[in-house]
């Protein structure tokens, strides 16, 4: 089953890393095909950045996301630039700490930045919280594949913190 996932937020939130981790989870741990693209430039620190992943059971012939069915939006500017035009059939996870607008499509509010800061003591893992929530609410990859990809991707010494962040995201998506 094909999914086109678009991540957006501001530079420094780990938007590109999130897409890389999701693609890695699909390819290396769930035996799927994936392609990841990114857009950044002057927005590298502070402005809206965007990254996308296509995940499919079959080889992907065209690597550009044409019609995202899943969005992960982590800033208001990211919403305005990359999420406001979401198709009504899409699902959008928003970091309710930093995104104030809501789309016409199904919207899942995850207070990722607040929880990362207050519960985990490090707002830098908000993107991992959002990845946990994404997988729990859409099943785009398995939780086991996501966890392995996170552990493959994060700096040594931060594995336990990132596992807690992923589990917090899963918990938040489940309504807890």
Domain locations along the chain: 3-173
Q: For helices 15-24 and 126-138, what crossing angle results, to 10°? A: 40
Q: Specify the CATH superfamily of domain 3-173.
A: Pyruvate-ferredoxin oxidoreductase, PFOR, domain III (3.40.920.10)
User: Which pLDDT score is estimated for 18?
Assistant: 97
**Packed helices 143-153 and 15-24: angle between N→C axes, nearest 10 degrees:** 120
SS3 content of the chain, % helix, strand, coil (to 5): 45, 20, 35
- Taking a C-beta distance cutoff of 8 angstroms, is the pair 29, 148 a contact? yes
- Higher confidence at residue 141 or residue 39? 141
* Cα 27 to Cα 9: distance, rounded to the nearest angstrom: 24
Query: In which band, very low, low, confident or very high, does the pLDDT at 48 lie, cut at 50, 70 and 90?
Result: confident
pTM: 0.95
């Amino acid at each position: 089953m094909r999914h086109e996932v678009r991540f957006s937020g501001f530079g420094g939130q780990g938007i590109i890393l999130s897409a890389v981790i999701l693609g890695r989870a699909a390819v290396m741990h769930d035996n799927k095909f994936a392609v990841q693209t990114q857009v950044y430039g002057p927005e590298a620190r502070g402005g809206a950045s965007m990254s996308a992943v296509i995940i499919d059971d079959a080889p992907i012939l065209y690597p550009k996301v044409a019609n995202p069915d899943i969005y992960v939006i982590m800033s208001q500017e990211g919403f305005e630039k990359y999420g406001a035009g979401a198709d009504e059939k899409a699902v959008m996870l928003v970091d309710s700490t930093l995104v104030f607008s809501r789309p016409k499509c199904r919207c899942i509010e995850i207070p990722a930045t607040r929880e990362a800061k207050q519960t985990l003591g490090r707002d830098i893992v908000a993107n991992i919280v959002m990845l946990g929530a994404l997988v729990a609410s859409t099943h785009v990859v398995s939780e086991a594949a996501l966890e392995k990809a996170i552990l493959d991707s994060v700096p040594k010494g931060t594995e336990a913190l990132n596992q807690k962040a992923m589990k917090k995201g899963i918990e938040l998506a489940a309504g807890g």
